[in-house]
Amino acid sequence: RKKDKKEQKGSTFLVLANRLPVDSYTDENGNIQWKRSPGGLVTALEPMLKKREGAWIGWAGGTSEPPAPFREDGMKIVPIELTQEDVEEYYEGFSNATLWPLYHDAMVTPKFDRSWWGKYVEVNQRFADAAAKEAAEGGTVFIQDYQLQLVPQMLRELRPDVRIGFFLHIPFPPKELFSQLPWRRRVMEGLLGADLIGFQVHGAARNFLDLTRDFLGLSPTENTVVAKDGRQVKVDDYPISISSKEYDTLARSAEVEKLIHQYLSELGNRRIILGVDRLDYTKGIDRRLKAYREMLADGMLDPEEVVLVQVAPPSRERVESYAKLREEVEREVGGINGEFGRFGLPAVDYIPRSLNRTELAALFRIADLMMVTPIRDGMNLVCKEYVASRIFGNGNLILSEFAGAAQELKEAWLCNPHDIDGMKEVVKAAWDASEEEQKRRMSTMRDHVFEYDVDRWASDILHDLGID
C-alpha cells in the first residue's frame, strides 16, 4: 500500500488498553489537566514508549467527549470515546458481566447477551481503527487484556505490516468453561491475529493452545501455534510483576515512617492482619471475613490483640454482582464489629476507598499478616507489593493457591479459600510463626520479587515480540 510522506509518520511503539495511563483533574484555573496514574504497567513500558515515539490508546473513563490526542510525560495519549451505551454494553456488560466472570471460574453466572457482544465487536473495531491510523509502517502494537481480544485480528486485516503482541492480565479458562461462550471461535480467531499471545501462568497458555486444536483444528506445539495463512503465533506465559525497587525505596521513606506511627497508635497498638483488594467477588473477601469472625468466636484470635484492616475501594459499581457484594461485605463487617469490637477499637477497620502508594506502603510495613485470598486471580500484584515493602525481611504472606502469584511465591503460607477450617489453621500457624521462620520464607520471596520485577516482564515479552 502506497503512502505519502506525511502518512508515513506515526508511532513505532503503541500500547492499547481499555484505560489510559493518565487521570484528569481540574487545576486552580478551572482547566482540565492530566497526570500519570501510578501503575506498574506504564512504568515498565515507559522506556520503550519514550525511546520509540510511543503512543497509548485507551478510554479516559466517563462518557464526555474526549480531548484530541495530546502529549504527556514523553508519550502521545490518544483517548477513545465511549458513549453511555458503549460503557453499559461493552465495558459493564460484555467485559465485566460476561468475560470477567467466565474467565474467573464462572463463580458468578456469566450473562450471554447478543447486543453486548455486538457492542464489544464495535468498540474493539474502534480501537483497531485508531491503532491502524496511529501506527508507523512496520511498528509494534502491544494490546492489553480481555476487553480487547478481537483487536489483534482486526488490526492485522487493516495493517499487515505491524507486529502485534497481546497480553491477557486475567486467567484464561479451561475448555469446559470457555466452551460456554457463544462467540468462542470469534474470540480465538481475534487473539490469533497477534504474533505473540502472553498469559500470566503456564496453565493458561496450555488452555489456550488446547483450544486452538479443539475448536479451530490447528496443531499447536509446546509454545507455538501455526495459525491461518501459515503464520507462527508464539504463545507463552510471562508472569507480570511490580516495580519492586520503587516499593522498597518508598517503604524506607520518611513519609512512610511518619504514617506508621500515626496508624499504629490509631489502631490501638494491636497486631495487624491486612487485606487490600478492589471490591471484587473474585478476591475472596467474604471468605476471609468468615474465617476471621470464626477465629474470634473460637478464641483462636483475641480481639484485644488483633485488628483486621481491610482496604476495599468499590469497583464496577453499576454491575449488579458488585453492588450485591458490597452490601454483603459491609453487612458482615458490621456484624463482626457489633459482636467483637469495643468503643473506638473495631475488630475490622474497613476502608472502602483508594489509598495512595505511601499509605499502602505504610500499611504493608505494619501488617504482621497479609491476607491475599482470591478464589481466582490472574496474578495478584498486592502480594508482591507486600513482599517488596517488607524491608526488615519478616512478615507473613497468606496466599491463595488460586492466585497466579502462588506459582512463584511458594514460600508464602498457601491456603485454599474454599476451605474455611484450613484457612483458619494457616492463619493461626502464621500468627504463631517465629521471627526466624518468617525471615526464612520472606527472604526467598524477596529475592524472587526483586529478580522478576515488572522491568524483567516487559523486557522478556518485548524481546519475544522482536523489539529490545
**Chain residues in the site for ligand F6P (CB under 6 A):** 19, 145, 169-170, 315-316
DSSP code, position 95:
I
The window from 217-225, 291-299, 377-385, 434-442 that contacts ligand ADP (CB under 6 A) reads 377-385
CA distance 264 to 118: 52
Least Å distance, CB 468 to ligand F6P, is: 25
Contact in structure between 130 and 80 (CB atoms under 8 Å)? yes
The stretch among 148-156, 202-210, 272-280, 327-335 that binds ligand ADP (CB under 6 A) is 272-280
Scan residues 305-344 and list those touching ligand ADP (CB under 6 A): 311, 313
The answer to whether residues 269 and 402 touch, using CB atoms and an 8 Å cutoff, is no
Residue keyed to cell 511498528? 139
Q: Is 418 a catalytic residue?
A: no
Residue nearest to ligand F6P as judged by C-beta position? 169
At residue 20, φ and ψ (nearest 5 deg) are: -75, 160
Nearest approach in angstroms of CB 169 to ligand F6P is 5
Closer of 18 and 244 to ligand F6P (Cβ)? 18
Q: Is 216 in the site for ligand ADP (CB under 6 A)?
A: no
Count residues contacting ligand ADP (CB under 6 A)?
13
- Return the residue of 33, 253, 269, 354 that touches ligand ADP, per CB under 6 A: 354
Q: Which C-beta is closer to ligand F6P: that of 92 or that of 248?
A: 92
283 or 287: whose CB is closer to ligand F6P?
A: 283
User: Judging by DSSP bridges, how do beta strands 22-26 and 70-72 pair with one another?
Assistant: unpaired
380 lines the binding site for ligand ADP (CB under 6 A): yes
Instruction: Give Cα 398 to chain centroid, integer Å.
Output: 19
What residues pair up with 351 in beta bridges, in sequence order?
Answer: 311
What 3-state DSSP class applies to 297? helix
Q: Which of 86, 169, 195, 448 is catalytic?
A: 169
Nearer to ligand F6P, 240 or 307 (CB): 240
From the list 377, 448, 453, 455, the catalytic residue is 377
CB of 139 vs ligand ADP, minimal distance in Å: 28
Strand residues in 238-313 grouped as ranges (E):
271-276, 306-311
* 145, interface contact from ligand F6P, ligand ADP, none, CB < 5-8 Å by kind: ligand F6P
Place of cell 491477557: 168
Least Cα distance to 224 among 204, 196, 199 occurs for 196
Out of 309, 363, 381, 449, the residue judged to bind ligand ADP by CB under 6 A: 381
Neighbours of 444 (CB within 10 A): 15
Give yes or no for residue 276 binding ligand ADP (CB under 6 A): yes
Q: Which stretch binds ligand ADP (CB under 6 A): 98-106, 223-231, 270-278, 389-397?
A: 270-278
Residue 273 makes contact with ligand ADP by CB under 6 A: no
3-state SS assignment for residue 23: strand
385 binds, among ligand ADP, ligand F6P, none (CB under 5 to 8 A by kind): ligand ADP
Secondary structure tally for the chain: helices H, strands E: 18, 17
Running DSSP on this structure, what letter comes out for residue 268?
T
* Beta strand residue intervals within 284-394, DSSP E: 306-311, 348-351, 369-372
Q: Is there binding between residue 379 and ligand ADP (CB under 6 A)?
A: yes
Find which of ligand F6P, ligand ADP, none residue 19 binds, CB within 5 to 8 Å per kind.
ligand F6P
Q: Does 370 bind ligand ADP (CB under 6 A)?
A: no
169 tagged catalytic: yes
* CA geometry: angle 126, 208, 164, nearest 5 deg: 40
Of 140 and 310, the one with the shorter C-beta distance to ligand ADP is 310
Residue 385 interacts with ligand ADP (CB under 6 A)?
yes
Smallest gap from Cβ 318 to ligand ADP, in A, equals 17
Helix, strand or coil for residue 134?
Answer: helix
Distance CA 406, CA 249 (A): 25
Q: Let me know if 63 is exposed, middle or buried by CB neighbors in 10 A (0-12, 13-18, 19+).
A: middle
Q: Is 278 in the site for ligand ADP (CB under 6 A)?
A: yes
The item of ligand F6P, ligand ADP, none sharing an interface with residue 316, based on CB under 5 to 8 Å by kind, is ligand F6P
| CA atoms 190, 454, 247, 386: torsion sign | positive
Cell of 6: 506525511
58 grid coordinates: 485507551
Which is it for the CA torsion 418, 422, 428, 433, positive or negative? negative
150 lies in the binding site for ligand ADP (CB under 6 A): no
Catalytic residue list: 169, 377
Residues binding ligand ADP (CB under 6 A):
276-278, 311, 313, 354-355, 360, 379-382, 385
